[in-house]
Chains A and B, each alone.
Chain A
Amino acid sequence: MKSLDKKIQNAIKNMSFSAGPELDKDLWAETSRTHNEFHTIELTSDKQNMWRIIMKSKMIRYSAAAVIFLIILGGITFRPFDSLNKEQWWLGTPAVWGQEIIMELDNIETLVYREQYVFVSPYGSTHVSGTWRRHYQAKDRAVIEMYYEHTDEDTFGDVKPDSILQNVTYNFPDGNDLISYNLSYEHECYSIRELEEGAYKKDPVEDLRFYVNLLVKADRIMEMEIFDGKKCIGFEISAAKYGDNPPDWIDRIWLDIQTKLPVRIEKHGRPITDRTWATSTEIQDQFIYYADIPVDLFEPKIPVNFIYAESSDIQKAKEEMEKGQMVYAEVPPELVDATAQAMNSVGNVIFWQHIGIFQDNELKYIQSREQLVSRYDWQENVYFNEELQKSQWFITSQSDFGKTSFDFNDKNFSIAQIIVNHNRHTYKTTTYNSSSHPDNPLDRIIFLIDWFSKADIFIENEEIDGRECYGFELSAKKYGTNPDTTKHRLWFDKQTNLPVRIEDEWLEDDGPRMIVKDQFEWDVELPQETFIPDIPTDYTPEEE
């Protein structure tokens, strides 16, 4: 009897029903659909609490510790769900895999990475800073090399062999103080500073750890990208989530899907001193973990020909020699703010741009362009002797017109330029990508307005086109390597604080030239068809 009972029990125990492919598909489809309805991909901050909650349980804490311990012993990457979507660990709980990364980072004693900036205008143009830094970080000291290279969007991300070492900073402790050596290879000088009680003993990966811990608050998961030859998954986080930061400060961290370690960190939307509209994006990449940095790299090596001086003093002296003394007018700060505020709120604009030459001390326009400009698209009509020669449209496409004003990672970014030549009855289309493209005409205007506070001359009162205006004159030598012979003049309506006239004057071999922008109509309604290229039906494509 007992043996039959045993047989029955075993038969029931071994009873097995399994879902066939069709049933499995249906069941999982319904289950996952329900999941998607109830959860968004958004990673809520609730998850951050999860680790704390679960760790309250002693048994679970020990269990988790046992798992982690086993993983360390086994020397394998912790993937609790190896049989499932193992390539997509990032869809799991960040508190769990984030902890793995933290554990990995804890083993790192030195860190090497590159840091570079991209300047981003609200109208879409980007400029990659020519200087970039290589950081070598250890627990209590760091060396930062600053290089210069000619960069544009095409070269970003490449280490160019012609990079010039400009500066090296050595930071190391002396008791509780921090000693900082700054060597300028550009100016062949060095300086030493001492920061009392400034010695640091921080983990070189502290910042990385901070970002990994933030991932539980990520707003979205980015599409996969390749950085430094590694397939990466990115997370986007509003900086407002970790401090009193504005919502348009956005951070992105990209993790290697193989090692899970950070490959790239981007900090978008940061303000730039003296630049009202442009923002900067800081990028850290080319991370080298477990770098074998020779100890003597951290020891300052001062070339024998270097003099003791601040590099900024030498640079200023050199600039004065090359460019002459800089002149700064007294500009009312409230007007600087007023122009910035006025420009911040404008929408579409129509204006004219004339290219003129001086003949017998009189300015004569040789070409005029009507500009119809919106934030992303613009149209330009080119006239010669009041006859329409050419019309061109610039149409922007990008994945995301929100959040960051321009995402230089955006592979879908493009500007299409459609030129219709009314003389030849032809048309031509050119598409530019994010690496190199024409700039929105407002970019140039806001660039100049940003220099208002550093004007050479402040114009308190002048009537332009029947309007009472104030304005300023700026020598182009204030920025870049421009000569003193290039001047900009801008006038603003006292009522609206918006530009009324802008002049750029420069000297050519055969005499002065001038570009004048005037007849501004700000915040004008532009019909939708303004930015739809109008190609007459009898026009033919232009031959290459």
Chain B
Amino acid sequence: MIEDELLKWKFKSGSIDALQRIYEKYRDYLLTVSMAIVNDTSLAEDIVHDVFVTFTQSGKSFKLRGNLKGYLTTCVVNRCRDRLRSYKRRPLSLDENVQLQSDMESPDRRLISDEQSRYIAGAMSLLPYDQREVIALHINGEMKLSEIARLQNVSVSTVKGRYRYGLKKLRSVLNGRLH
């Protein structure tokens, strides 16, 4: 946390060092969150790219009282929502994800992951968007359900319901397929 505070000060004053540190520290995490929500490598790359570019542009006007990780996670989630809405793209099904896996195993693969991660992402893609977002933010982003409720502009009980239903669906999809 202290490091993040220092990074925020340095970033705001234009330090590329700080930006690089933020980028390196959160790049993979944001890619993971992004993949958990959109399950599309090139879209996830685009989203993280957009988030870093916008974050970088915020420069001097950047004001953040909360924590950096939560802020970046929220940026990714918002971007995922915008992208999915504007491009009207449908998350891939588990079957389609087989193709995705083979792409990612090519020698020049851009996004690296293990088999289970790809499988989980594929499973999550079968959930309705709101449920996916809650699960990604709560489990990957370690955000409290009340925080997610504020972000999604719904009640906490709605978030709890989305989380519960999301997990229930994952149980049926992943039953017997997790090591």
A-side interface residues toward B, CB under 8 Å? 1, 4-5, 7-9, 11-20, 22-24, 26-28, 30-32, 34-36, 38-39, 43-44, 46-47, 50, 54, 60, 63-64, 66-67, 80-81, 83-85, 88-89, 91-93, 95-96
Contacts and interface: CB of A to CB of B under 8 A. Distances in A.
A93 B10 contact: yes
B19 A23 contact: no
Interface in B72-121: 108-114, 116-117, 120-121
Nearest to A16: B117
B17 A91 contact: yes
A13 B135 CA distance: 10
Contact of A17 (B23, B31, B108): B31
Contacts of B9: 50, 54, 93, 95-96
Interface of B: 1-3, 5-6, 9-10, 12-21, 23-24, 27-28, 31-32, 34-36, 44-45, 48-49, 52-53, 56-57, 59-60, 108-114, 116-117, 120-121, 124, 135-136, 139-140, 167, 170-171, 174-175, 178
Max chain A Cβ within 10 angstroms of own Cβ: one of B1, B13, B17, B21: B13
A43 B13 CA distance: 8
Contacts of B23: 27-28, 31
Given A8-B167, A20-B111, A27 B16 contact: no
Contact of A28 (B10, B20, B34, B116): B20
B174 A17 contact: no
A494 B29 CA distance: 79
A19 B60 CA distance: 28
Max chain B Cβ within 10 angstroms of own Cβ: one of A7, A31, A38: A31
A91 B2 contact: no
A519 to B, nearest CB: 57
DSSP class of A's interface residues: helix, strand, loop or mixed?
helix
Nearest to B20: A84
A32 B19 contact: yes
B21 to A, nearest CB: 5
B17 A92 contact: yes
A16 to B, nearest CB: 5
B50 to A, nearest CB: 10
Contact of A16 (B1, B21, B52, B113): B113
A95 B175 contact: no
A14 B114 CA distance: 10
Contacts of B20: 28, 32, 81, 84-85
A138 B8 CA distance: 39
Contacts of A54: 5, 9
Given A19-B110, A47-B13, A81-B18, A12 B28 contact: no
Nearest to B36: A15
A316 to B, nearest CB: 56
B56 A63 contact: no
Contacts of B52: 27, 30-31, 34
B28 A17 contact: yes
A32 B20 CA distance: 8
A17 B111 contact: yes
B53 A31 contact: yes
A5 B13 contact: no
Contact of B27 (A24, A84, A85, A93): A24
Contact of B140 (A7, A15, A18, A28): A15
A85 B174 contact: no
